[in-house]
């Protein structure tokens, strides 16, 4: 379980971006973070994974506070798939990229290779195990970034725009990974602009950029015209259809 | 540890000066560095770092200056002062020898690099790449040429951005970047290797961009909001150009 309590943050010399943001992501739950560009979605992730330090509030994983810990220690609890994965791959081979996280934990070699093949299998990249990450297609690189985090087997998963620009086949693969992780009891937070994707996969929504960010169940969120206008997001297709029919 | 950009926004007169004036100044310093004696090279380097402090970019300039020049300066002094055999080698302690002429030569080479580095850092930390591009376009430089001149700056920005992204990814996947010097060295190596690979991979792409931007139908691009320029700055640029020409003539004829 991931809990955020009264988070407050501002970039140096800028007005407060977050003021008392709270949210709870239970085990086996998917929270979608939505909001227009610059609303602070990516910043929220950096506050969760320790790259930025909040000025106020606390982040808890499994009931224990991780605020103030080192980034590499938080990495044992929270995994992050950043926006633009082509920027974040660094190994010379697909296999090495995925093994990096488990290796930092000091696992024995046979466990590492078991985790690597499992993660690559789940992301349909097992055939590419010996290739250079830069030789992969855009979608494959995205999934390599996902595999690298899956191999760490962490209770909390953060995904920044993981579905953006994927075709139908890859989108379905992503959805089945999300579903499997949810069934395995993970707390998942995803930043997402695609409201159809949110509607299909998320349990609750945290809308940033409005007056008071609140965590709302998906059906309630998409029925609340006021909040939708405040954070300027489109309604997903099923909701628009329903509105059209009645 | 890494800023995403070397350029530090500010309001100092150096920030507001036209980028053409600043580049002319930079070229003058580079040319002059070949004429100055060693002590002057180090004194002028220090003055330039002080100007950086006065312009509010001192922290970023000095930090990078130390990081980039220290290893080089040390290597030059050890190599010329104590390793390269010279006729005036004097024993210091056991097998350790030193040469005065070698040290003088090291001070000259090191001082030159130090001066060029300090002034380049001052230039890039007070000049936004986009402003430089607009200034060159406003002066009706061919787009290809101005892009070629500004691209090292744009590249540096891209490079530091990518360094940050890789470092963030590695740390959130459990890499500890503090601890023993050995660990830190390992972390640095894990950052530098992928940076170099991606720089090489990008180089090919960039050459395509250059051709695409360089050879277009219009000989120059029109600029809607050219950076401010003044009559004094134009006068200064011409004077510096004449001064550089005289320096060059002196070096050739001497
Ligand atoms: N490193 C930074 N320094 C200062 N301001 C930043 C930095 N990163 C982002 N911002 C600003 O913070 C706000 C939120 O950015 P971000 O979290 O990237 O938004 P989103 O991901 O929702 O598009 C934006 O206004 C952005 O300009
Ligand atoms: Mg973002």
Q: Which of A12, A88, A93, A99 to mutate to test the interface with B (most CBs of B within 10 A)?
A: A88
Average pLDDT of chain B to the nearest whole number: 82
Instruction: Measure B192 CA to nearest chain A CA, in Å.
Output: 10
Q: What pLDDT does residue B2 have?
A: 43
The residue whose CA has the least distance to atom 25 of ligand 1 is: A38
CA distance B119 to A245: 69
Q: Which residue has the higher pLDDT, B150 or B127?
A: B127
* Mutation for A interface: B10, B166, B169, B179, most A CBs within 10 A: B169
Q: Rounded to a whole number, what is the distance in Å from the CA of B213 to chain A's nearest CA? A: 25
Task: Give the integer Cα–Cα distance in Å for B38 and A215.
Answer: 66
Q: Considering every ligand atom, which ligand is closest to the CA of A40?
A: 1
Question: Which residue is closest to B165 within chain A, CA to CA?
Answer: A88
Element (H, E) at B22: helix B19-32
Distance A42 CA to ligand 2 centre (A): 4
- Give the one of B161, B166, B201 whose C-beta lies nearest to A134's C-beta: B201
Pocket, ligand 1, Cβ cutoff 6 A: A 11, 14, 17, 35, 37-43
Chain B residues touching residue A49 (CB < 8 angstroms): 172
Taking only the tens place, the pLDDT of each residue in B190-220 is: 887 887 777 666 665 655 555 555 444 455 6
Instruction: Judge: B172–A152 Cβ closer than 8 Å, yes or no.
Output: no
CA of A83: which chain B residue's CA is closest?
B165
What is the per-residue pLDDT for A216?
A: 94
Residues of B in contact with A104 (CB under 8 A): 173-176
A216 phi and psi angles, rounded to 5 deg: -130, 140
| Contact between residue A49 and residue A74 where contact means Cβ atoms under 8 Å apart | yes
Question: Do B165 and A88 lie within an 8 Å CB cutoff?
Answer: yes
Reported residue count of chain B is 254
| Long-range Cβ pairs for the range B148-151 (8 Å, 24+) | B148/B210, B148/B214, B149/B23, B151/B206, B151/B210
Tell me what pLDDT residue B252 has.
80
pLDDT-derived band at B87 (thresholds 50, 70, 90) equals confident
Query: How many other CB atoms sit within 10 Å of the CB of residue B126?
Result: 27
Contacts of residues A168-175 at CB distance under 8 Å and 24 or more positions apart, as own/partner, are: A170/A139, A170/A142, A170/A143, A171/A197, A173/A123, A173/A124, A173/A143, A174/A143, A174/A146, A175/A200, A175/A201
Residue with CA at minimum distance from ligand 1 atom 9: A43
pLDDT at A234: 75
pLDDT confidence of residue B3: 46
Q: Which residues of A touch B175 (CB under 8 A)?
A: 72, 75, 100, 104
| Nearest-by-Cβ selection for A72 from B162, B165, B171 | B171
CA–CA min distance B63, chain A (Å): 20
Neighbouring residues of B201: CB distance < 8 A, sequence distance ≥ 6: A134
Q: With a cut of 80, say whether residue B157 has pLDDT above it.
A: no
Residue B169 pLDDT grade (very low, low, confident, very high; cuts 50, 70, 90) = very high
The answer to whether B159 touches B44, Cβ cutoff 8 Å, is: no
| Phi-psi category of residue A148: left, alpha or beta, with phi > 0 → left and psi -120 to 50 → alpha | alpha
User: A100 at the B interface (CB within 8 A)?
Assistant: yes
More confident residue, B148 or A227: A227
pLDDT on residue B217 = 44
- pLDDT < 50 regions, chain A: none
Handedness of CA B206, B208, B209, B211 (dihedral sign): positive
Q: What's the confidence (pLDDT) of residue B185?
A: 78
Highest mean pLDDT among A9-23, B77-91, B169-183 belongs to A9-23
* Yes or no, beta carbons of B194 and A89 under 8 Å apart: yes
Q: What is the mean pLDDT of residues B41-69?
A: 91
Dihedral sign, CA of B4, B9, B12, B13? positive
Cβ of B162 within 8 Å of Cβ of A87? The answer is: yes
The pLDDT of residue A128 is 94
List, in order of start, the domains of chain A with CATH numbers.
1-73+185-246 (3.40.50.300)
Is the model's pLDDT at B115 over the cut of 90? yes
A40 alpha carbon – ligand 1 mean position (Å): 6
Residue A90 Cα, gap to closest chain B Cα (Å): 5
Give A133's contacts (C-beta < 8 A, 6+ positions apart). A89, A91, A92, A93, A94, A97, A141, A144
* Cβ atoms of A189 and A158 closer than 8 Å: yes
First-to-final CA distance of chain A: 39
Q: Residue B67 burial (CB < 10 Å; 0-12/13-18/19+)?
A: exposed
> Which tops the pLDDT comparison, A85 or B29?
B29
Chain A residue closest to B1 (CA)? A51
Model-wide pTM > 0.80 = no
pLDDT band at B223 (very low <50, low <70, confident <90, very high): low
Q: What pairing do the DSSP bridges indicate for beta strands A78-81 and A156-160?
A: parallel
Q: Which A residues 17-36 touch B at CB under 8 Å?
A: none
Q: What is the pLDDT of residue B215?
A: 46
Q: What are the φ and ψ backbone dihedral angles of B52, each rounded to 5 degrees?
A: -55, -45
Q: Do B168 and A92 touch (CB under 8 A)?
A: no
Alpha helices in B127-230 (DSSP H): 129-138, 143-172, 181-214
Position in ligand 1 atom list of the atom nearest CA A41: 22
pLDDT at A237: 78
Q: What is the pLDDT of residue B205?
A: 61
pLDDT greater at residue B64 or residue A157: A157
Alpha-carbon distances of A92 from A99, A117, A129, A136, B190, rounded to whole Å: 12, 17, 11, 12, 11
- For B172, the closest of A71, A91, A92 (CB atoms) is A71
* Nearest atom, ligand 1, residue A36 CA: 22
In chain A, what residues touch B9 (CB-CB under 8 Å)?
none
3-state secondary structure of A206: strand
């Amino acid at each position: 379980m991931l809990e955020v309590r009264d988070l407050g943050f501002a970039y140096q010399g800028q007005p407060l971006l977050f003021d008392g943001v709270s949210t709870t992501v239970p085990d086996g739950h998917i929270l979608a973070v939505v909001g227009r560009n610059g609303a602070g979605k990516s910043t929220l992730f950096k506050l969760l994974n320790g790259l930025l330090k909040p000025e106020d509030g606390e982040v808890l994983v499994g009931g224990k506070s991780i605020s103030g810990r080192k980034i590499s220690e938080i990495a044992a609890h929270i995994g992050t798939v950043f926006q633009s994965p082509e920027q974040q791959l660094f190994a010379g081979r697909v296999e090495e990229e995925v093994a990096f996280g488990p290796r930092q934990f000091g696992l024995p070699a046979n466990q590492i290779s078991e985790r690597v093949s499992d993660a690559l299998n789940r992301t349909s990249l097992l055939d590419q195990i010996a290739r250079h990450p830069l030789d992969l297609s855009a979608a494959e690189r995205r999934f390599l970034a996902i595999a690298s985090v899956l191999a760490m087997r962490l209770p909390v998963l953060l995904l920044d725009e993981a579905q953006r620009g994927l075709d139908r086949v890859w989108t379905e693969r992503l959805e089945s990974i999300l579903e499997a992780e949810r069934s395995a009891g993970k707390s998942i937070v995803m930043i997402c602009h695609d409201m159809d994707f949110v509607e299909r996969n998320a349990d609750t929504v945290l809308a940033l950029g409005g007056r008071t960010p609140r965590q709302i169940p998906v059906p309630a969120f998409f029925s609340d015209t006021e909040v939708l206008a405040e954070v300027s997001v489109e309604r997903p297709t099923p909701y628009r259809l329903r509105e059209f029919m009645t | 540890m890494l800023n995403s950009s070397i350029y530090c926004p500010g309001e100092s007169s150096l920030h507001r000066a036209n980028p053409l004036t600043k580049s002319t100044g930079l070229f003058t310093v580079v040319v002059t560095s070949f004429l100055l004696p060693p002590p002057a090279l180090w004194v002028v380097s220090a003055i330039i770092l002080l100007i950086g402090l006065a312009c509010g970019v001192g922290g970023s300039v000095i930090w990078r200056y130390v990081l980039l020049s220290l290893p080089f300066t040390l290597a030059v002094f050890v190599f010329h002062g104590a390793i390269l055999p010279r006729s005036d080698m004097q024993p210091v302690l056991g097998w350790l020898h030193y040469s005065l002429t070698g040290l003088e030569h090291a001070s000259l080479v090191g001082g030159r690099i130090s001066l060029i580095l300090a002034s380049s850092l001052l230039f890039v930390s007070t000049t936004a790449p986009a402003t430089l591009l607009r200034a060159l376009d406003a002066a009706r430089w061919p787009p290809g040429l101005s892009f070629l001149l500004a691209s090292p700056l744009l590249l540096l920005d891209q490079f530091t951005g990518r360094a940050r992204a890789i470092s963030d990814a590695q740390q959130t996947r459990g890499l500890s970047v503090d601890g023993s010097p050995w660990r830190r060295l390992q972390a640095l190596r894990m950052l530098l290797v992928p940076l170099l690979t991606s720089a090489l991979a990008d180089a090919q792409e960039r050459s395509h961009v250059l051709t695409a931007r360089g050879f277009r139908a219009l000989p120059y691009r029109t600029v809607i909001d050219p950076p401010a320029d003044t009559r004094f700055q134009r006068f200064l640029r011409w004077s510096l150009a004449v001064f550089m020409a005289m320096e060059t003539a002196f070096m050739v004829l001497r």
